[in-house]
C-alpha cells in the first residue's frame, strides 16, 4: 500500500462588476493506492469556469489520473 499526497491551489476569480475579486485556497488530497503504482495527473494545470448562482454540490470539473507515465491506464 502506498500513500500519495498532493497540495492543490484553488483560485477563484470573479471578473464582474464592480471589481475583480480573487480568492486562493490550499486543498490537501491524500490518496491511498493499494497496487504500488504511483498515480499522476494527466495535466499540470486545470481550469474550470462556473456560472453564478448554481446549487451547492455541483461538479464543476474532473481531473483524471493515470497509473503510469505511458498514460495507458486511466482512473
DSSP notation for 15-70: --SS--EEEEEEEEEEEEESSSPPPEES-S-------TTPPTT-------EESSTT
Q: 13-28 pLDDT, tens per residue?
A: 887 777 678 899 999 9
| Euclidean distance between CA atoms 21 and 14, whole angstroms | 5
Percent of the chain with pLDDT over 90: 21
Total structural domains in the chain? 1
Tell me, yes or no, whether 9 lies in a domain: yes
Tell me, yes or no, whether 54 lies in a domain: yes
Q: 47-57 pLDDT, tens per residue?
A: 998 888 889 99
Q: What is the DSSP letter of 73?
A: S
Q: Which residue has the higher pLDDT, 48 or 2?
A: 48
Tell me, yes or no, whether 75 lies in a domain: no
Mean pLDDT of the residues in the chain: 82
Residue pointed to by grid coordinates 471589481? 19
Q: What is the pTM of this model?
A: 0.63
Tell me, yes or no, whether 73 lies in a domain: no
Before 18, cis peptide (omega within 30)?
yes
Amino acid at each position: 500500500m502506498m500513500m500519495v499526497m498532493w497540495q492543490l491551489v484553488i483560485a477563484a476569480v470573479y471578473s464582474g462588476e464592480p471589481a475583480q475579486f480573487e480568492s486562493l485556497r490550499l486543498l490537501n488530497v491524500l490518496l491511498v493506492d493499494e497496487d504500488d503504482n504511483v498515480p499522476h495527473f494527466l495535466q499540470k494545470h486545470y481550469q474550470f469556469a462556473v456560472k453564478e448562482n448554481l446549487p451547492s454540490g455541483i461538479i464543476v470539473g474532473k481531473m483524471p489520473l493515470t497509473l503510469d507515465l505511458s498514460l495507458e491506464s486511466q482512473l
